[in-house]
Amino acid sequence: MNRVNVALVGLGAFGTWHARSLRDLPQCRIAGVADADATRARQMGDALGVPAARDAQALIGDEAIDALVLAVPPFAAAEIGVAALKAGKHVFLEKPIAVTDADAAALQAAAEAHDRVLMVGYVERFNPSLRRTKALIRTGAIGQVTKISSRRASRFAGKPDWVWDRCGIVVHVVGHDLDVMRWFVDDEVERVYAEAGSLMRGDLGQPDTVCVTLRFRSGAVGIIESAWTLPSNHPAEENDTRMDVAGTAGMISVNNLDQTINLCSESSGYRLPSILRWPGNLDGDVGPLSWALKDELAHFAACVGGEAEPPVTAAHARETLRILLAINKAIETSAPVALETFRPQ
């Protein structure tokens, strides 16, 4: 496997999560990091054992780097992204692509002109429950989508200043649900309307709550509620997000708090499809998902190719079996079994 040499730019809250993800991916190697905050850059560089810079340009000029992952605030991404694309690098860019259409257009043009990959990170595309929902829709489980309603709430506190000053709740948050709806309906939006509220901190002059309605060309309608009003003691680690997708022949309800989906359809009745593990038979309805069995086999293939080690070796599995047999023995004899002396038959 040829590893992709990646430079990570922007080492704030989300950049740190990208660092962790990239570090753990066998397909990638972090070759350098940058952040306008020199201390942050140095600390992450030291933690990862890679060169660190304040200015992304230092990494863009490095021939050994294939791609940049940008987790800078969205108003700062275009300048770095365009320069990287022009230098022949591939770019992964955190959502939203930008905060102005001019910047988004410049990024798109640079990617097309230089024939480089430019991927925008709307991470819900990789959310297992939403991927499974898309797969069910694709196979016609609920007929044609007629209405999607989506709720996304997070806490008011703890957002960087730029979210208020230079982005706002619509571009920062509603984009997630809008992207998912366009993906699910597979159609373009014809008309939108919205009401916004700012009762949490009216003095900031920015909405903290928004209710959007939208209509697709197909006639499907959508409702998006986004709010920075989650109580501070709410159990959600990050967001509380839920979605109901209604169709002409059924309905899917997604609860991202506990990663469950409920399917109720005219043809299959009420079901709780498995999200993470089991793909079903050869023509099952999972679509191009990643699931545990597939990931397990991909890992096995990497082991065969000498690129990975089995997480469960024969020795490990044999010891597991020995313990299981000891448990059986304990059941049979109604007595504790010491593993130190236990010898299976």
Ligand X SMILES: NC(=O)c1ccc[n+]([C@@H]2O[C@H](COP(=O)([O-])OP(=O)(O)OC[C@H]3O[C@@H](n4cnc5c(N)ncnc54)[C@H](O)[C@@H]3O)[C@@H](O)[C@H]2O)c1
Catalog residues that contact ligand X under the rule CB under 6 A: 9-15, 34-37, 40, 56, 71-74, 76, 94-95, 121, 123, 160, 172
CB of 13 to ligand X, least distance (A): 4
> Of the two residues 40 and 247, which places its CB atom closer to ligand X in the complex?
40
> Of the two residues 18 and 145, which places its CB atom closer to ligand X in the complex?
18
Spell out where the chain has E strands: 4-9, 28-34, 52-53, 67-70, 90-94, 118-121, 145-155, 189-197, 209-216, 221-230, 240-247, 250-255, 260-265, 269-271
> Of the two residues 76 and 246, which places its CB atom closer to ligand X in the complex?
76
CB of 9 to ligand X, least distance (A): 5
Q: What is the 3-state secondary structure (H, E, C) of 11-44?
A: CCHHHHHHHHHHHCCCCEEEEEEECCCHHHHHHH
Q: Is the dihedral of CA 20, 98, 75, 88 positive or negative?
A: positive
CB of 287 to ligand X, least distance (A): 22
CB of 17 to ligand X, least distance (A): 8
CB of 343 to ligand X, least distance (A): 53
CB of 285 to ligand X, least distance (A): 27
> Of the two residues 169 and 246, which places its CB atom closer to ligand X in the complex?
169
Give the Å distances, CA to CA, from 257 to 2, 206, 228, 241, 261. Answer: 36, 27, 16, 7, 11
Number of CB atoms found within 10 A of residue 205's CB = 8
- 202 touches 195 (CB < 8 A): no
> Of the two residues 69 and 220, which places its CB atom closer to ligand X in the complex?
69
Give the Å distances, CA to CA, from 243 to 156, 170, 178, 221, 340. Answer: 21, 18, 12, 13, 52
CB of 73 to ligand X, least distance (A): 5
- 249 touches 165 (CB < 8 A): no
Chain position whose Cβ is nearest to ligand X: 12
> Of the two residues 17 and 342, which places its CB atom closer to ligand X in the complex?
17
> Of the two residues 78 and 214, which places its CB atom closer to ligand X in the complex?
78
